[in-house]
A and B are shown apart, each in its own frame.
Chain A
Amino acid sequence: MAITFEQLQAQLDEKPSVHLEVLDLAVTYKTVKGSFHAVDNISFEVAPGSNLGLVGESGCGKSTVVKALMRLTPEDAALSGRVLVNGADLIAMNAEQLQKVRWTQIALVTQSAMNSLDPVVRVGDQIVESIRAHVGTSYATAWKRAEALFAMVGLPAARLREYPHQFSGGMRQRTVIAMALSLNAGLLLADEPTTALDPIMQDQVLARIQALQKSLHRSMILVTHDIAVVAETCEMVAVMYAGRIVEYGPTATVLTKPLHPYTMGLENAFPRMPSGDGVRPPLISIRGGLPNLLSPPKGCRFAQRCPFATERCTTEDPIIDIKASSHVAACHYPSRAEEFRRKAAEAETWNAMEGIT
C-alpha cells in the first residue's frame, strides 16, 4: 500500500544511525597471472554519527573498499572477512537481503556525477525512481520528497524537470548527493565527491554534506586523496597504502603526529598555502612507485620507498591492530616516530632513495 508524504517523512526521520564494523575485509581478483590482492585484510570502524576519512593515492584500494561495502565488486572478485552494519554481516547476505540495505541503510556518492545520471531521464524522475525502488509510495509523494531533497542541497525545485545536460558540474554533483540522501541512509559512502569540482563549488558541496550529516546524525566514509578535506571534515582517518591500512586514528593526531613514514611522506608532499611571511616547508616527493600487488614484496609494503627501512622491514610483516590503541600504525618502529618525523621533514632524507617519481 502506498504511503503518504508525511508517513514517508516520519519513517525516514526514525531511521537509526549506522554503526559499521569492518573486520579483516579482503578483496581478491583472480587473474591469469595469479591472485591480485586489491584490499588485503583491513579492519576499521565507523561509530554512529561520525565521519571517517579514507586517504591514499590512486591504486591503493580505497575505491575498492567502497565498492565492497556496497557489495558492488565484480562477480569474479572474492570477498572475505566481515562487514557488520549494525551487527548484520553484509558479506553473508543474499541479493534480497542486500536490496534492503543498499540505499536505505548505506548510500553511495560516486566521483563522476556525469556518469551516474541517465542523460535521457529528467533528474526529478531519477530521484523518484531511486525512492520508489525501495519504498512503496506514489509518484506524487516521491516527487515531493525530491523537492525537499533539492532544497537541502540548495537547488531550486523547478529544475527537477530538467535533464542532466542542462546542469553545471556542481549542480550534477549536488543532484547525486540529493539522490544519495533520498532515503536518509544511516551511512553515506562518498567516493571523491568533490574531486571533479572547482574549489568554490567543492567548498560549498562539502559544507552542505557536513551540515546535513550533523543535523541528521548520519555517519560517513569520505574517500579522497586530499588530506586537507579530511582534516576539515572527518574525526577519524585511515591511511591506505597498497591495499592495506597503514595508519588509523583521530585525524588531528594522525596529521600532527603521524606514526607511519608513508603518512609523513604524504604530508610533506601535500601543497599548502603560504603563510604570511611566505616561509613554508619545501614540497618533497616520495621516490619510487607502488609495489606489484600480484606478487607483493615480503614484509612491509612501503619498505622499498621508506627511507627508514631496516632488514626487519623487508622480512617481517608489520601488524596493525585497531583495537590496541586509538592511534595505530603498521610500522615496526612506532617508538622512533619522533625521530622519523624530524628526518622526514628534510628533503635529503627522501632524495637519498632510488627511483624517479
Chain B
Amino acid sequence: MKEGDADEIIVEALDLKTHFSANSGLLQAIFSANKQAVRALDGVNISIRERSVTGLVGESGCGKSTFGMTLVRMHEPTSGEIKFAGKPVTHITGAELKNYRGRAQIIFQDPYSSLNPRLTVGQLVEEPLLIHKIGDDAERAEKIARALGHVRLPAQEYLHRYPSDLSGGQRQRVAIARALVMEPSFIVADEPVSMLDVSVQAGVLELLETLSRQLGLAVLYISHDIATVGYICDRVGVMYLGKVVEEGPTLSVLNEPLHPYSERLLAAIPKVDTNATRNRVEMSGEVPSPLNVPPGCRFSTRCPHATDLCRTKEPELVEVKPDHSVRCHLY
C-alpha cells in the first residue's frame, strides 16, 4: 500500500469474550450446580490498522494479556469474533490455524525466560521458519539476516552468540527478530519493555514504532506503564475488569480522559518535574474479582460518581469526542 492511502484494518475483535472455568476439581465439576467462570475478557471491540500501534493499558488482572493471547489464538475465545484481514479466524483449526499463527506473532515480557539459553541467536531466529517449514538453508539464512537487520543486530556479529552474552535490551531484540522472521502483518507486544532498564527501554520502543511504519505492521502494545504508551501509540484503550472502558487517539485519552477510572489511573502516575504538584486521588476498594463481576457498570463499586443507574445498567460505549469513545453513564 502506498503512503497516504487509508490504512486497512488488519485485526478486528468483535464482542470478544474469553472465560475460564473456575471449577477446579472433578467432584466440583460433577456436583457443582452453577458453573463458575472467570470472566477475564468480557466483550471487547477493537480494530487495529496496519502501520499503526494501538496501546492497551490497565491494572494487572484487567484482562489485557488475555486479550493479546486470545487475538493470536493462544486462548480459545468463549464467544465473539476475531477477524484477520477481513476473514474470521475465531474458530479455525489445523493448518489454517498454523498459518494464522505465522501471520500474527506475539512478543512476551521477559526476554530472560522466553529465549532458550542453549540455542544461538541464529538458531533462535531460525526456529519459527523450521516449525513452519519455510525455505531451504540459503533462503532461511537470508531471512534470518534480514530479521536481525530489522532489529539492528548485525548478523555477522550476533548469529553465533548465546542469550547469556546479551543484555536485556539485546535479548528483547532477538525476541522481536523471531517474530519478524515470519513476516507477520500483526504483532502483539505484551509488556515488551517492562523488564528492561530505563536507559535501554527507549531503544526497543523506538524500534517497535519504526518497524510498524516501515513494514506496515499492525501492533498491539500492552503495558501498564502509561507514560511509554504516549510515545509510540496512535490510539489507546483503557481496560478495566475485562472490558475496554475508554478508547481514542492517544493524546486525547492521556490529556483529557473521560472515564472516571482513566482519570484516576492517570492521576496516580508520579511526575518527574519536582515543581509540579499532583493531586493524589484516593480510590476506595480493590478491583472486584472477575469471578464475581458487579452488575451494571463494572467500576461502579469504586466510582465516586456512581448512581443507581450505574449499579443496575451496564453503559454502552458512546463516542463523546471525535473518534474518542467512553463506556460511562456520565456522558
**Partner of A231 from B268, B272, B282 at Cβ < 8 Å:** B272
Inter-chain pairs besides A203-B269, A270-B198, A357-B199, 18 sampled, C-beta below 8 Å = A170-B286, A199-B268, A200-B264, A203-B270, A203-B280, A225-B197, A228-B269, A232-B274, A252-B274, A256-B274, A266-B199, A271-B227, A271-B228, A272-B227, A272-B230, A273-B269, A283-B201, A285-B203
> Is the CB–CB distance between A232 and B227 below 8 Å?
no
A200–B280 Cα distance when bound, in Å, is 10
Instruction: Please give, as numbers and ranges, the residues of chain B lying within 8 Å of A201 by CB-CB distance.
Output: 59
Contacting residues, chain B, for A269 (C-beta < 8 A): 198-202
Does residue A164 face the partner (Cβ distance < 8 Å to B)? no
CB-based contact A232/B205 at 8 Å = no
Chain B, interface size category, equals 35 or more
Stretch touching chain B among A61-69, A182-190, A274-282 = A274-282
Tell me whether A231 and B270 are in contact (CB under 8 A).
yes
Find out whether the CB atom of B230 lies under 8 angstroms from the CB atom of A273. yes
The yes or no answer to B317 lying at the interface (CB within 8 A) is no
Which residues in B have their C-beta under 8 angstroms from that of A198?
Answer: 59-60, 224
Q: Smallest CB-CB separation from A169: which chain B residue?
A: B60
Contact, CB under 8 Å: A232 / B278: yes
- B253 CB to nearest A CB, Å: 10
Give 1 or 0 for each of B266-293: 1 = CB within 8 Å of chain A CB: 1111111111001010110011000000
Do residues B60 and A231 form an inter-chain contact, with CB atoms below 8 A?
no
- The closest CB in chain B to the CB of A267 belongs to B272
The closest CB in chain B to the CB of A256 belongs to B274
Query: Which positions in A face B, CB cutoff 8 Å?
Result: 57-58, 168-171, 198-204, 206-207, 225-229, 231-232, 251-252, 255-256, 265-267, 269-274, 276, 278, 280, 283-286, 289, 356-357
Q: What are the 3 tightest A-B residue pairs by CB atom distance, in nearest-first order?
A: A283-B202, A357-B200, A203-B268
CB distance from A347 to the nearest CB of B (A): 9
Q: Mark B306-328, 1 if CB is under 8 A from A, else 0.
A: 00000000000000000000000
CB distance from A240 to the nearest CB of B (A): 13
B99 within 8 A of A: no
- Find out whether the CB atom of A272 lies under 8 angstroms from the CB atom of B272: yes
In the bound complex, CA of A171 to CA of B286 (Å)? 9
Give the distance in Å from the alpha carbon of A214 to the alpha carbon of B223 in the complex.
Answer: 33
Q: With a CB–CB cut-off of 8 A, which chain A residues contact B331? A: none
Decide: A228 and B254 in contact? CB cutoff 8 A: no
A357 touches B230 (CB 8 A): no
Name the B residues within 8 Å of A284 (CB-CB).
202
Inter-chain contact A251/B198, CB cutoff 8 Å: no
Interchain CB contact (< 8 A) of A199 among B59, B173, B202: B59
- A274, B230: Cβ atoms under 8 Å? yes
A226 and B270 contacting across the interface, CB-CB below 8 Å: yes
Do residues A200 and B278 form an inter-chain contact, with CB atoms below 8 A? no
Give Cα A341–Cα B81 distance, bound, in whole angstroms: 52
Interface string of B249-262 (1 = CB under 8 A from A): 01100110000000
**A283 CA / B201 CA spacing, docked (Å):** 9
Residues of B within 8 A of A271 (CB): 201-202, 205, 225, 227-228, 230-231
The answer to the question of B303 belonging to the interface, with a C-beta cut-off of 8 Å to chain A, is no
Contact A57-B274, Cβ < 8 Å, known A271-B230, A273-B254, A276-B255: no
Residues of chain A within 8 A (CB-CB) of B230 are 271-274, 280
Q: Is the CB of B198 within 8 A of A202?
A: no
> Which of chain B's residues 98-120 have a Cβ closer than 8 Å to chain A?
none
Contact residue among A200, A202, A204, A286 (Cβ-Cβ distance under 8 Å from B200): A286
Decide yes or no whether B63 CB sits under 8 A from chain A: no
B89 at the interface (CB under 8 A from A): no
Minimum CB–CB distance for B248 against chain A, Å: 14
CB distance from A348 to the nearest CB of B (A): 14
Contact partners of B266 in chain A: CB under 8 A = 273
Complex CA–CA separation, A13 to B60 (angstroms): 38
Q: Which A residues lie within 8 Å of B268 (CB)?
A: 199-200, 202-204
Q: Which residues 218-236 in B have Cβ within 8 Å of A in the complex?
A: 224-228, 230-231
Minimum C-beta distance from B142 to chain A (A): 21
Complex: A132 Cα to B4 Cα, angstroms? 71
Chain A neighbourhood of B169, CB < 8 A:
285, 356-357
- Judge whether A283 and B251 touch: CB under 8 Å: no
Q: Is the CB of B173 within 8 A of A356?
A: yes
> Contacting A274 at CB < 8 Å: which of B152, B202, B254, B272?
B254
Q: What are some 14 contacts across the A-B interface (CB < 8 A)?
A: A57-B197, A199-B224, A199-B265, A232-B271, A255-B272, A256-B274, A269-B200, A271-B230, A271-B231, A272-B272, A273-B226, A274-B230, A289-B167, A357-B199
Residue of B nearest to A287 (CB): B203
Least Cβ–Cβ distance between A138 and chain B, in angstroms: 33
Query: Which of B199, B224, B250, B280 touches A286 (beta carbons < 8 Å)?
Result: B199
A265: chain B residues at CB < 8 Å are 199
Interface residue ranges of B40-70 to A (CB < 8 Å):
59-60
A284 to B204, CA, bound (A): 11
Chain A residues with Cβ below 8 Å from B231 are: 271, 280, 283
